[in-house]
Amino acid sequence: MALFIFICAAYILGQTILMRFMNSSSTAIKARSPLISTLHRTVSIVQYVLAANVILIIIQIFLFSKYSIISLLFVTYISNFFTASLLIIFALSFLSWYKSQKQNIGILLYALAFLILAVSEVVSGLGSGYLLSQKEQLIIPTSEVKFSDFPEGSFFDIFFSFYRYFDYASFVLTLIASAILLYHYTKKTSNPKIILIIALPILGYTSSILDTLNIYDSDTNPDLFYYYIYITLVSASAGVLFAFSFWIVSKKLPESPVKTFLKITAYGFVLLYFSNNISVTIAAYPPFGVNSLSLLSLSSYFVLFGLYSSALSLSQDLTLRQRLRALARNDNNLLSSIGTAQMESEVKRAVGELKDVADEQEKELAEKSGIETPVPESEIEDYLKQVIEEVAKTRKK
């Protein structure tokens, strides 16, 4: 009981800190985006309600030495269904972006990954609710701790036999989309190790589905308890490695909103892969796991908000650079320069002019999205030189 109380206190304190961090990091976007503002308020309300549910369980145990199974049903349905709703909302947002920017395959992959995971969360919530409904209404210290199963051939039995494939597909799609998203920023960091870091979670996560791949038979193996510990730790470590790639990139970026968004995504992935592998269907006394499951919706929101804001920033960043390239191509005086010395002077002249244009465009985009994407003079000069090289190659052809 002392350990359970300690975990509950850590959960409530940690949740409060995370929500304050989210509040301070999303002020600008909430002011510009009604969607983010509404979702942020809703997530806050849901988390406070889930925290109240945990406190209610503690009160029931201390006063009556028992707790109602309804508390576990409540956290199961709220966490899974609300998480699924968040996934669908953000998936639709990404799909709307993809319609206008069909060349960005990463946005489409995120949308597909979110939709697949949303389906899994809904069915997982229904399945867990079914198993909990088979338990006693009141859980006491002497209640039997039993791992229930679904009736053979039932919908839940068939779905959960393929559940790992859905989960793995969502994981791989998210990983590939994240690699595409981070590629833009890794070019700025000049760190080829990022490719290796973001690929490592695949190896770890694959080893957690040995049973699904028929490499390990969990039904007959006597070491099943240790196998469950193993796949939980491996799945969590895959989430940590996943988050590590975002953290490494964010550390190498200058102070900016994007740096904060990548950190939020990293924190979210760590929490998500710990909370998404938790089930309270055994209805233990006290109900260990209820705190982790209560963090599912908040951790999902961290991931979704971080990816959404990072992708929005990247889209805005590329839009700004495309406009600069178009302006550079229209500068005949610059592109017609032949001598190296003359070209350098023209580049410096054009950098000064385009910097003013970039600042205006940046301000306009920032007012619409709440995200700043500053372009330093050095990058404008690099883009100008790239345009000159492209035009020179075209003329040679």
pLDDT of 340: 45
The residue ranges of every structural domain in the chain are 2-317, 330-396
pLDDT in tens, 167-180: 778 888 887 887 77
Tell whether the model's pLDDT for residue 124 goes beyond 60.
yes
Rounded-to-integer distance, Cα 37 and Cα 29, Å: 8
Q: Any idea which of 27-36, 296-305, 383-392 has the lowest mean pLDDT?
A: 383-392
- Mean pLDDT (whole number) for 62-88: 94
73 — pLDDT class (breaks 50, 70, 90): very high
Rounded-to-integer distance, Cα 157 and Cα 219, Å: 14
- Mean pLDDT (whole number) for 23-41: 81
Omega cis (within 30) before 201: no
pLDDT of 224: 64
SS3 string, 18-77, reads HHHHHHHHCHHHHHHCHHHHHHHHHHHHHHHHHHHHHHHHHHHHHHHCCEEHHHHHHHHH
pLDDT in tens, 303-358: 888 888 877 776 665 555 555 555 555 555 544 444 444 455 555 566 565 566 65
108 — pLDDT class (breaks 50, 70, 90): confident
362 — pLDDT class (breaks 50, 70, 90): low
SS3 string, 105-143, reads HHHHHHHHHHHHHHHHHHHHHHHHHHHHHCCCCEECCCC
Average pLDDT taken over every residue of the chain: 76
pLDDT of 334: 44
Closest to 385 measured CA to CA, from 348, 359, 357? 348
148 — pLDDT class (breaks 50, 70, 90): confident
pTM (two decimals): 0.77
pLDDT of 371: 60
pLDDT in tens, 263-282: 888 888 888 888 877 888 88
**Of 154 and 74, more confident:** 74
- Tokens 């600008």 label which residue? 28
SS3 string, 294-315, reads HCHHHHHHHHHHHHHHHHHHHH
SS3 string, 345-386, reads HHHHHHHHHHHHHHHHHHHHHHHHHCCCCCCCHHHHHHHHHH
Tell whether the model's pLDDT for residue 75 goes beyond 60.
yes
